[in-house]
């Protein structure tokens, strides 16, 4: 039986957030796979939304990455289409940017965000 488009979209969304959280924590696919008893290829399939993640594996991944399970569902409560966090996590360098932002003093981070927002409005 072929999966419905909403199911595939949800699988890709959860996978993208998994990738983002894994990268933000500096954990390789191999290390995450070893921590929960899978192959890195299976982690790749989860992150691409090719394979659906069972609830038990999602809980194991959340524990291994030290994030709340609900972190993998961020943005699903809206009807805006694709979640901004999931899209951002797919951008090259996003995890490094997030790590750097978390190390910045709050005032510096606020200024960087203001600057980025103003550049984002440029044609």
Residue 56 belongs to domain with CATH number = 1.10.260.40
Q: Round to whole Å and give the CA distance between 19 and 21.
A: 6
Kindly state the average pLDDT of the residues 92-114.
Answer: 87
- 60 and 71, same structural domain? yes
Task: Check residue 4 and give its pLDDT.
Answer: 57
Residues 82 and 98 in one domain: no
Residue 81, pLDDT > 60, answer no
- Distances from the Cα of 97 to the Cαs of 13, 20, 110, in angstroms? 20, 11, 14
Q: Are residues 77 and 110 in the same domain?
A: no
Residues 97 and 108 in one domain: yes
Same domain, 113 and 76: no
| Residue at token pair 């569902």 | 73
Q: Which domain holds residue 50?
A: 5-90
pLDDT digits (tens, 9 = 90+) for 6-63: 677 888 989 999 999 999 999 999 999 999 999 999 999 999 999 999 999 999 999 9
DSSP 44-78: HHHHHTSSPPPHHHHHHHHHHHT--GGGGGTTTTS
**The two three-digit tokens of residue 80, written as one number:** 């805006």
Residue 73 C-beta-side C-alpha neighbours within 13 Å = 8
| Model pTM score | 0.62
84 and 111 in a single domain? The answer is: no
100 shares a domain with 67: no
Structural domain count of the chain = 2
Are 21 and 73 within one domain?
Answer: yes
Are 14 and 26 within one domain? yes
């Amino acid at each position: 039986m072929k999966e419905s488009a909403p199911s595939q979209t949800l699988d890709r969304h959860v996978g993208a957030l998994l990738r983002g959280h894994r990268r933000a924590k500096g954990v390789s696919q191999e290390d995450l796979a070893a921590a929960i008893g899978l192959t890195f290829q299976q982690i790749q399939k989860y992150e691409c939304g090719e394979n659906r993640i069972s609830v038990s594996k999602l809980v194991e991944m959340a524990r291994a990455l030290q994030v709340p399970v609900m972190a993998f569902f961020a943005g699903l409560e809206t009807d805006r289409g694709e979640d901004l966090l999931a899209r951002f996590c797919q951008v090259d360098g996003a995890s490094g940017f997030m790590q750097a932002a978390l190390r910045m003093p709050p005032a510096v981070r606020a200024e960087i965000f203001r600057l980025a927002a103003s550049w984002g409005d440029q044609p």
